[in-house]
Amino acid sequence: MNTDKYRVKVGKKVKLQDFPTSYNGSLTKEEVYEQLLPANQEKLAQYQEALYAENRRGLIIILQAMDAAGKDGTIEHVFSALNPQGTVVTPFKEPSDEELDHDYLWRAFRALPRRGNIAVFNRSHYEDVLVTRVHNLLPKQQIPEFLVDDQIWNRRFREISNFEQYLTDNGFTIVKFFLHISKEEQKQRLLARIEEEEKNWKFSASDVSERRYWSEYQEAYEDLLAHTSTESCPWYVIPADRKWFSRYLVSEIMVDVFEKIDPQFPELPPEEKAHLERWKEVLENDD
Ligand code: ATP
Ligand code: MG
């Protein structure tokens, strides 16, 4: 599949209305769930093993979305293929007092993966140019007042890009997904959380009240997508009205990303290989 059309081009203005929320190609849900997605999961698991064995590079996957767009389901259906031993999923919730007492990237630093590992950010440092912006939460962030001016969001875009470039330059690849859902589909999913008892636990009244800020959020997303999609750390806008397609597309992009990283199992030096032969003999002669 050509995943390039879902990538946000560098330095271009972004109008989310130009990006589809729904898939209407020829793939079917059945072939995705029965063949294509499992095949990709298998590939991801193999790549991950090599990444882990190589122990040089790391991967950071960022998931951002409006409420009910399917972040949790994507983690469950795509990243469940990964070995928990080398994967850490971190949810970025409302910051704690301790987190608020630091700069906004502090908690992102703390969630970074070791070499050989994969970090999945369920929300991320991007909340600090989203919810913080839409709800004007800066006064809560203890930042000196003179630093809060009309350039703060542009500065944060630059800071985030620098942070991500720094990680790239140190061997960590960053992939960013925005699950793009329509307002109508979100309404249906929130209704389902009310109407279907087994989904009640997912319902949160604030998800409904946040809908009043829908267009402010979309604008904040457009701004950050335009400013922080770079050649090395691109954003992908994933049509998310059909869960099966968004999961599959994320898995396709992940396979592409791994193909580029192409992690290699380490080759043992000849003297260690000879060592193995000797230990084999010892074991074979053991009772
Ligand atoms: P679900 O889909 O299960 O609801 P979620 O990611 O929405 O998952 P919640 O606990 O419902 O999880 O929401 C986390 C909340 O924390 C979001 O409303 C998000 O905007 C908020 N949040 C995250 N980072 C920040 C931040 N830096 N400042 C303020 N609020 C934040
Ligand atoms: Mg929520």
For residues 152 and 223, is the Cβ–Cβ distance under 8 A? Answer: no
pLDDT of residue 83: 93
| Cα angle: 261, vertex 83, 117; to 5 degrees | 45
Contacts 24+ apart (CB under 8 A), 241-244: 241/21, 241/22, 241/23, 241/181, 241/182, 241/185, 242/22, 242/23, 242/29, 243/70, 243/73, 244/29, 244/32, 244/33, 244/37
pLDDT at residue 243 greater than cutoff 90: yes
Instruction: Give the pLDDT confidence of 58-89 residue by residue, as tens digits.
Output: 999 999 999 999 999 999 999 998 999 999 99
Q: How far apart are CA 86 and CA 75, in angstroms?
A: 15
Q: How far apart are CA 61 and CA 71, in angstroms?
A: 12
pLDDT at residue 269 greater than cutoff 90: no
pLDDT at residue 274 greater than cutoff 90: no
Instruction: Give the pLDDT confidence of 76-125 residue by residue, as tens digits.
Output: 999 998 999 999 999 999 999 999 999 999 999 999 999 999 999 999 99
**Probe residue for ligand 1, chosen from 74, 96, 131, 246 as the CB with the greatest number of ligand atoms within 8 Å:** 131
**Probe residue for ligand 1, chosen from 76, 127, 142 as the CB with the greatest number of ligand atoms within 8 Å:** 127
Q: Fill in the DSSP letter of residue 7.
A: B
